[in-house]
Structure 1
């Protein structure tokens, strides 16, 4: 499983690519659009941002997966949005906008998960690495 350091390093490299390319490169990874999710730290109260892929988009709703590479722990951003679902999202280089995050219901996850893993098998592999059910998160317009 990736360490916190490795995850932060990957995010820093990704942001560097976006900056160096003037935003022309880095908004797609593994055939998925990339977004920047900004949450409020549940302990610090400070803005925390992370680069994530969105394997499914339904209209204006963006779907992200709290996989953390199949780790047994949820990612920090997931804990943050559970504590405060009001988030900001910059999607494919567009200016950030306020959104509301919510964890998919069991029925929604049951419908979304096959769509996610059909095109992005890495998520299915992540699920086999952990006993926790990997959450699916919907980012919606307020």
Structure 2
């Protein structure tokens, strides 16, 4: 804008846009981001590949300090079967049992063995396990919920508490049965003593846990 002042024309200076930042203004933050990205990628590679680019003495130093980058002492996690499913050993026993008319090898060779199929208390799915039995005078089968002497009842015991209808495979025969827990008292004590006299392991299991190992009678339905 121009105006006259005593014959002299004065011109107002034109408004100028603020100067643009030079190429080096944002270089520091950019470098920092790149450096963080490189560190992230380096850690990711270490965790993924299980090795780090270290100096010859750094692995010993890492072990002394407990560095998470030292993988020399890491052991692979043992495979555990899905809950409610028989383990690998039980699967082999079940397969042998069904292929050989109820006869199996290994620790169960010559033992009185059946396959017990229950319905999952929550899932409703069929669950099959091998178990020892003791035949009673009335034809029913006595089985133990020993669970190998663990402090918890086996899964099949929880299943029969919800659904006592079970399937029994004995030799070449398969039939339906009803499972009934033997209540604590004189009958249970007598049955436990008689069975433990034949298989000492059950007495050892009971001595090693505070829970009372449940006894179950399987009575044929048909």
Report the TM-score, using the length of structure 1 for normalisation: 0.85
Aligned to 2:169: 90
Structure 1: unaligned runs, 5 residues or longer = none
Q: 1:69 aligns with which of 140, 148, 153?
A: 148
Aligned to 2:193: 114
Q: May I ask how many residue pairs the two structures share in their alignment?
A: 136
- Displacement of 1:32 in angstroms is 3.1
After TM superposition, list the pairs within 5 Å mapping 1:9-88 onto structure 2: 9-19=88-98, 22-23=100-101, 25-26=103-104, 29=108, 32-54=111-133, 56-58=134-136, 59-88=138-167
CA contact 1:33–1:92 (8 Å) conserved in 2: no
Kindly indicate whether structure 1 or structure 2 has the higher relative contact order, using CA contacts under 8 Å at least 6 residues apart: 1
TM-superposition CA deviations, 1:118-142 (whole Å, max 9, x none): 0100001111111000001000123
Q: Distance in 2 between matches of 1:65 and 1:108?
A: 14
- Displacement of 1:18 in angstroms is 2.8
Q: Distance in 1 between matches of 2:159 and 2:175?
A: 18
Q: Which moved more, 1:23-32 or 1:107-116?
A: 23-32
Say which one has the larger Rg: 2
